[in-house]
Amino acid sequence: MEFQMFVLIVHIIAGSIALITAAGSFVTKKGREWHARVGKVYSFAMIVVALSAFILVILGSPMYLMMVGIFAGYIVAVGWRRAMNRGGEVNRIDRILIAIGIVGMLGLFVTSIAILSGSELITTNGKGAIFGIVPLIFAGICGGLVWVQVRVDKKGLAPRGKLRIIQHVVFMGSGTIATVTAFLVTAVSNSVFVWVIPTVVGTAGIIFWTRKVNDGKITPP
């Protein structure tokens, strides 16, 4: 129990840091040094969140927590990879990330089917079968992002220029949605509405920032 509490504390601290730095990424000027520094801390914090979620599931937490953790870790890792990979190289790191994304997508899909079918193998904290909509939505998002990554990287050259920044915005923006969702679910409510609404609002934000990149208002240093 003491070890589980320790992991939970690490999970909460890392999640809090991720939430703060996610906000910081919006107030720092895009494409500049401080934005990159804040993004680095955010990425590291989210990886810790994903790993600690995995451990918590092993120790008895709901299975969907691990699937969401894998999903969040994947999209943030790809987002950071897009930010740093200015040369466009595609290597083993990218293939590993694709594999992780596929595992996350399939895991979320199976989790959704299990919940919707009323299986007792996966607990939903009393939310019932309707909660299965949540992992199904995240499975679709994860699958779409994996497709984006595979579609570009299969040519052996990762995106450069505007496309690289756009994909960085899309993946990191999705990671921010996951961060805010986790906070609201913990602090406000575990309802399906609270799980879904950040995705709706965040998607509008991602569209807004990608348009800024397309218009040349955000450029890499």
DSSP string, 106-166: HHHHHHHHHHHTT-TTS--TT--GGGGHHHHHHHHHHHHHHHHHHHHHTTTB---HHHHHH
Domain assignment present for residue 221? The answer is: no
Q: Buried b vs exposed e over 45-74: b needs ≥16 C-beta within 10 Å? A: bbbbbbbbbbbbbeeebebbbbbbbbbbbb
Specify whether the CB–CB gap between 54 and 104 falls below 8 A.
Answer: no
User: How would residue 52 be classed by pLDDT, with cut points 50, 70 and 90?
Assistant: confident
Q: Return d(Cα 112, Cα 54) in angstroms, integer.
A: 18
Give the per-residue pLDDT at 127.
62
Domain assignment present for residue 48? The answer is: yes
pTM: 0.80
- State yes or no: pLDDT of 217 exceeds 70: no
- State yes or no: pLDDT of 31 exceeds 70: no
User: Could you list the residue range(s) of the whole structural domain that residue 135 is in?
Assistant: 2-214
Q: How many domains does the chain have?
A: 1
- C-alpha closest to that of 198 among 173, 219, 167, 171: 173
For the stretch 92-120, pLDDT in tens is 888 898 898 898 888 888 888 888 887 66
For the stretch 168-195, pLDDT in tens is 888 888 888 888 887 787 777 777 788 8
Domain assignment present for residue 219? The answer is: no
Give the per-residue pLDDT at 199.
87
Domain assignment present for residue 57? The answer is: yes
